[in-house]
Amino acid sequence: MKVGAVVVLYNPEVYLAQVLIDSVARQVDVLCVIDNSQQPSILNLEKSNLNYHHFSLNIGIAAAQNVGLRDLKLADCDQALLLDQDSDITDNFVHSLSTQLIATQRKANTLVAIGPRIVCSFSDKVVKPRVQKEIAVFDDIVCVSQIISSGMMIDLHRLEEIGLKDESLFIDGVDHEWCWRARQKDMSVAIAHNVQMVHKLGDSRSKFAGITYKVGSPIRLYYQFRNILILTRRAYVPRYWKTRNLLVLPIRFLANSILQNSKRERLNYMLKGLWDGLLNKDGSYQSNWYSDK
């Protein structure tokens, strides 16, 4: 069994990124580091099993992951672990997920990807989805509608059936869309009960009307608002996700317009995201708003 990993970087905290890369490199046969930063990240990448790609124009997380997945396929890897720079893994993380994926596939051969229980770095608590329901429960895993991309272990032998990540979304919703597409093809994704991973969800936390929510960079609002409107048009996207996100959209708009710093900048990105979402325009923000066309 040959296991590879893809780590995507974007202006990372160098020390933390180096710790992650060193840990992953020790645990996998092939490591692909995809750097979307404008300038190459200053890291120690002198490892015999590491491939490095730098894209100064930021090709987005979906395209970056696809570069890595193609690399791992060419290297004849059987499994691929996806990680981003905000994750912190233990020394046996890869082995635990890999063996769990194999063991569960013996009972449920529809399983194509598995992820850990996510521990939020802000609260040190396991993240429990409010709406997502468990689909099927086995001894050590629970099948769910979707998992996040960081920590996702994919069976590369099934990748062609599902397809690569949707590059048109650029960033937000990429992980969930791939899972929903897999489920449309009667495949399943799961969370391992006994494997945990600390992950930074958003840049900070804020509270509005008694609800704590993630706060990210202003430009992420463009992709979040736009991609909600794009994904709600797709038949295979779960109805509960469409309903919840459309209902919460006005609250998020209000909270980001009034309560956060850089209010005008956030408002600008949200309005542009809504406009492009209504027009079903995908791709990067730059291609839609700074194009020479």
Per-residue pLDDT, 229 = 98
What is the mean pLDDT of the segment spanning 158-170? Answer: 97
- Supply the pTM of this predicted model: 0.93
- Hey, what are 214's tokens? 């993630």
Write out pLDDT tens, residues 52-94.
Answer: 999 999 999 999 999 999 999 999 999 999 999 989 999 999 9
Domain ranges of the chain: 3-199, 204-289
In this structure, which topology does domain 3-199 adopt according to CATH?
A: Spore Coat Polysaccharide Biosynthesis Protein SpsA; Chain A (3.90.550)
Asked if the model's pLDDT at residue 289 lies above 50, the reply is yes
Closest CA to 69 of 81, 58, 59, 57: 81
